[in-house]
């Protein structure tokens, strides 16, 4: 049986996995699905039909408006907002209060392992790729590639991160290759804006656009130089 705080407001039709926990004053709406081992923090809001994969952490007061969809192992920081109305209005042009049929909800999709830092806003419709990291306070207005580190308003890519969430360091002797200083895992640019885990020779069959990636590398190195 899921651990649900007595002050939490969980709809009867919400599907909460047995090993999940829902903390005080959180609200989980009708038809929402919360996967195994998830933790829903104090005061969080999970909208109607929102799907949260297994092993996700939703921190205090995060607001996940429908139709948001989260993969497995996603981290949502405190105070994050996933919006669902791109052009919000309380009333119609005639001044009548808008109802559910007067607007079309659009969703935020977040893939496996990605993390959204404290108080970031993801403006739907937007897709955050697997293992990407959104910096605290960012406003995400366009899709984020897998493993990208994005920050600012609007959020721009400022680097790459690996599965450990640590910023990757470009290999000085190998164009387009990046290493995690913590796990030593190697990643490589498949295209200028697409990083993937490098699995050794098996990946060498796949074509690597050396020219484009070299261009990307030099800008990464320039950015790193500027940061020093």
Ligand X SMILES: CC(C)(COP(=O)(O)OP(=O)(O)OC[C@H]1O[C@@H](n2cnc3c(N)ncnc32)[C@H](O)[C@@H]1OP(=O)(O)O)[C@@H](O)C(=O)NCCC(=O)NCCS
Long-range CB contacts for residues 12-16, cutoff 8 Å, separation at least 24: 14/46
Which of 137, 145, 192, 215 touches ligand X by CB under 6 A? 137
Which residues, 6+ apart, have CB-to-CB distance to 163 below 8 Å? Answer: 113, 131, 180, 183, 185, 197
Which of 135, 168, 189, 213 touches ligand X by CB under 6 A? 135
Cβ proximity to ligand X, 107 vs 117, nearer residue = 117
Which of 29, 51, 109, 167 touches ligand X by CB under 6 A? 167
Least Å distance, CB 150 to ligand X, is 8
Cβ proximity to ligand X, 37 vs 157, nearer residue = 157
Q: Are 70 and 88 in contact (CB under 8 A)?
A: no
- Tell which residue, 188, 192, 198, has the closest CA to residue 215: 192
Q: Residues in contact with ligand X, total (CB under 6 A)?
A: 13
Cβ proximity to ligand X, 22 vs 138, nearer residue = 138
* Per-residue contact flags (x/-) with ligand X for residues 209 to 228, judged by CB under 6 A: ------------------x-
Beginning with the edge strand found earlier in the chain, give each strand of the sheet holding 177-179 in spatial order. Answer: 169-170, 177-179, 186-191, 194-197
| Binding region for ligand X (CB under 6 A) out of 7-15, 105-113, 123-131, 133-141 | 133-141
- Tell me if the bond preceding 154 is cis, omega within 30° of 0: yes
* 129's tokens: 């790729």
| Binding region for ligand X (CB under 6 A) out of 15-23, 35-43, 150-158, 191-199 | 150-158
Between CA 222 and CA 172 the distance in angstroms is: 12
* 186's tokens: 């190697």
Q: Are 78 and 61 in contact (CB under 8 A)?
A: yes
What residue number has its CB nearest to ligand X?
117
Told to check if 26 binds ligand X by CB under 6 A, we report no
Which residues, 6+ apart, have CB-to-CB distance to 222 below 8 Å? Answer: none
**Residue ranges in 85-124 that form contacts with ligand X under rule CB under 6 A:** 117-118
Least Å distance, CB 117 to ligand X, is 3
Told to check if 192 binds ligand X by CB under 6 A, we report no
Q: What residues make contact with ligand X under the rule CB under 6 A?
A: 77-78, 117-118, 133, 135-137, 151-152, 158, 167, 227
């Amino acid at each position: 049986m899921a651990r649900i705080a007595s002050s939490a407001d969980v709809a009867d039709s919400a599907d909460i996995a047995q090993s999940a926990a829902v903390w005080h004053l959180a609200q989980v709406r009708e038809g929402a699905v919360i996967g195994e081992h998830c933790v829903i923090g104090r005061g969080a809001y999970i909208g109607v039909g929102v799907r949260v994969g297994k092993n996700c952490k939703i921190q205090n007061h995060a607001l996940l408006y429908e139709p948001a969809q989260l993969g497995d192992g996603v981290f949502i920081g405190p105070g994050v907002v996933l919006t669902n109305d791109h052009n919000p209005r309380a009333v119609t042009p005639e001044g009548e209060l808008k109802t559910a049929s007067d607007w079309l909800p659009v969703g935020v999709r977040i893939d496996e392992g990605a993390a959204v830092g404290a108080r970031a806003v993801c403006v739907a419709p937007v897709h955050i790729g697997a293992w990407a990291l959104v910096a605290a306070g960012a406003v995400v207005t366009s899709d984020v590639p897998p493993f990208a580190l994005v920050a600012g308003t609007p959020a721009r890519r400022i680097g790459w991160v690996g599965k450990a969430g640590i910023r990757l360091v470009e290999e000085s002797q190998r164009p387009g290759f990046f290493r995690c200083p913590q796990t030593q895992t190697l990643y490589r640019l498949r295209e200028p804006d697409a990083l993937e885990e490098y699995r050794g020779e098996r990946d060498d069959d796949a074509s690597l656009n050396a020219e484009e990636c070299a261009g990307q590398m030099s800008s990464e190195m320039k950015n790193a130089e500027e940061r020093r």
